């Protein structure tokens, strides 16, 4: 449990916990807010309950995750990030952007989860482009929303509470829109995305949310 490198090194510690299978994705999902065991399991297709339990215990023991009784609907248990764990958020955002640089279009067997979409939106946010707006995004089976207010952005899975300025339905090409490889206009005319709302708001969206994409040279 929890890899041990026997090195007195902050990075080795981090690698020890977060390098375990599924650990980083569990934390990613928890950066969006408190989650139940079941939510985590469903949001991470392929995790056996036994592994999820193990990861949560380890993260708990390292002070990253906290296990609490849920007050509201139905009681039960929720997992949250501790303040220490929450400090990972900006780091994971950067790491996620780094990894996304080489991701153009989903492979046939790759899925998009709502949590990954929400986290990607948060990581993609560039303050200053727009002042305020709420977006509702659907990509394949995944749904998330992002609410911009000044330099802040709030994201989560599912649907926004307030009515969004724009609803976007995107397909596999959605990534290219975030990369600027497709302009807002192109994305619409090509059918890469369909929107409910004004075209101009989609222009706002692409200005506010951006993740560059490398020209990847084939490996000769």
| Residues from 12 through 71 that contact a second copy (CB under 8 A) | 12-15, 18-25, 28, 45-46, 63
- Cβ nearer to a second copy, comparing 72 with 102: 102
Distance CA 134, CA 184 (A): 17
Beta bridge pairs of residue 132: 149
Among 171, 172, 169, 181, residue whose Cα is nearest residue 206: 181
Specify the stretch interacting with DNA by CB under 7 A; choose among 37-45, 105-113, 118-126, 184-192.
Answer: 37-45
- Cβ nearer to DNA, comparing 67 with 126: 67
Cβ(43)–Cβ(115) below 8 Å: yes
Angle of CA points 191, 194, 200, to nearest 5°: 110
* Residues 6+ positions from 167 with CB-CB distance below 8 Å: 135, 136, 137, 138, 195, 196, 197
Beta bridge pairs of residue 73: none
Residues 127-166, mask of contacts with a second copy (x by CB under 8 A): ----------------------------------------
Query: Binding residue for DNA (CB under 7 A) from 18, 59, 64, 78?
Result: 78
Q: What is the H or E stretch that residue 144 is in?
A: strand 142-149
Residue 154 touching DNA (CB under 7 A) = no
* Residues 6+ positions from 84 with CB-CB distance below 8 Å: 63, 64
φ, ψ for residue 152, nearest 5 deg = -95, 150
The one of DNA, a second copy, none whose footprint includes residue 18, by CB under 5 to 8 A per kind, is a second copy
The one of DNA, a second copy, none whose footprint includes residue 192, by CB under 5 to 8 A per kind, is none
- Cβ nearer to a second copy, comparing 122 with 130: 122
Residues within the interface to a second copy (CB under 8 A)? 3, 5-15, 18-25, 28, 45-46, 63, 84, 87-88, 90-92, 94-103, 106-107, 109-113, 116, 119-120, 123, 175, 211, 214, 216
Residues within the interface to DNA (CB under 7 A)? 1, 3, 20-22, 36-39, 46-51, 53-54, 67, 70, 74, 76-79
């Amino acid at each position: 449990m929890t890899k041990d490198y026997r090195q007195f090194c902050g990075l080795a510690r981090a690698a020890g916990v977060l390098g375990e299978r599924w650990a980083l994705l569990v934390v990613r999902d928890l950066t969006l807010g408190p989650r139940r065991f079941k939510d985590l399991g469903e949001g991470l297709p392929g995790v056996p309950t036994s592994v999820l339990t193990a990861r949560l215990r380890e993260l708990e023991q390292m002070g990253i995750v906290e296990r609490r009784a849920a007050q509201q609907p139905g009681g039960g248990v929720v997992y949250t990030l501790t303040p220490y764990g929450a400090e990972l958020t900006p780091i994971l955002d950067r790491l996620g952007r780094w990894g996304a640089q080489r991701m153009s279009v989903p492979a046939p067997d790759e899925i998009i989860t709502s949590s990954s979409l929400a986290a990607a939106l948060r990581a993609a946010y560039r303050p200053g482009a727009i002042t305020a707006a709420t977006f509702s995004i659907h990509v394949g089976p995944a749904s998330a929303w992002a609410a911009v207010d000044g330099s802040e952005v709030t994201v989560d899975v599912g649907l926004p509470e307030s009515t969004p300025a724009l609803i976007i339905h995107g397909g596999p090409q959605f990534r290219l829109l975030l990369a600027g490889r497709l302009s807002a206009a192109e994305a619409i005319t090509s059918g890469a995305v369909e929107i409910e709302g004004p075209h101009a708001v989609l222009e706002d969206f692409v200005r506010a949310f951006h993740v560059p994409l490398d020209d990847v040279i084939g490996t000769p």
